[in-house]
Amino acid sequence: PGHVETVATAAAVALDVAGLTVVGLGRGSRMCKLNYTATGGTVTVNAVDVAIINMKFEATVSAVTIGLSILTLATNCLVKGCHFTSETGATDEFNRSINVGVGCDGLVIEDCKMDMTLGGAAAAISLVGATNDVLIQRNMIRGDYSVGNIESSTTASTNVHILDNVLLNGRSDDINAVEV
């Protein structure tokens, strides 16, 4: 509980072992934290069957490009109970909290909180390429997203289930879930 890991470079934390499960201990102020101190800092998933549970991802600088990058063909990834936040609500943010590559079939994102408040974030969850059987459920996604809370861009994904989420966007011209 209370452990803090600094994320200052691309792939600073690389989850690249099949079947790896990372479980953060603690809750509230004692939740394990990944502290992003550079715009190019990322945590990557580059293996199958990886689970990330109960971790806090915190942007401490403006315009962190991607918080968690699930790379191409990293199938059956689970992101559960994680928090994506910013140190200073008006200036710090993840442009995209979770970015999903092509072919990340079987992805589950559940029970997470994503709060980018007033920062200029684009989207909380971005499905960049064709991915099949995605479940996004019971998340609280709040921010001032320029694209939308959840976006699907380039090639369409199939069997994407978005269930029981709370999607709040501070922009009056966005509909929260969009296909680009």
Q: How confident is the model at residue 141 (pLDDT cuts 50, 70, 90)?
A: very high
Quick check: 174 pLDDT over 80? Answer: no
| Single-letter amino acid, residue 143 | G
Residue 180 predicted with pLDDT over 50: no
The encoded tokens of residue 112 equal: 């997470």
Token pair of 120 as six digits: 């200029």
C-alpha to C-alpha distance for 67 and 41, rounded to whole angstroms: 8
Distances in whole angstroms, Cα of residue 54 to Cα of each of 22, 40, 175: 8, 23, 29
What's the rounded mean pLDDT across residues 160-178?
A: 74
Beta bridge partners of 176: none
3-class state of residue 30 by DSSP:
helix
User: Of 98 and 175, which is predicted with more confidence?
Assistant: 98
Q: What is the pLDDT of residue 176?
A: 52
Q: Identify the pLDDT of residue 175.
A: 46
Q: Mean pLDDT, to the nearest integer, of 56-68? A: 95
Q: Give, in order, the Cα–Cα distances in Å from 5 to each of 11, 36, 61.
A: 13, 9, 15
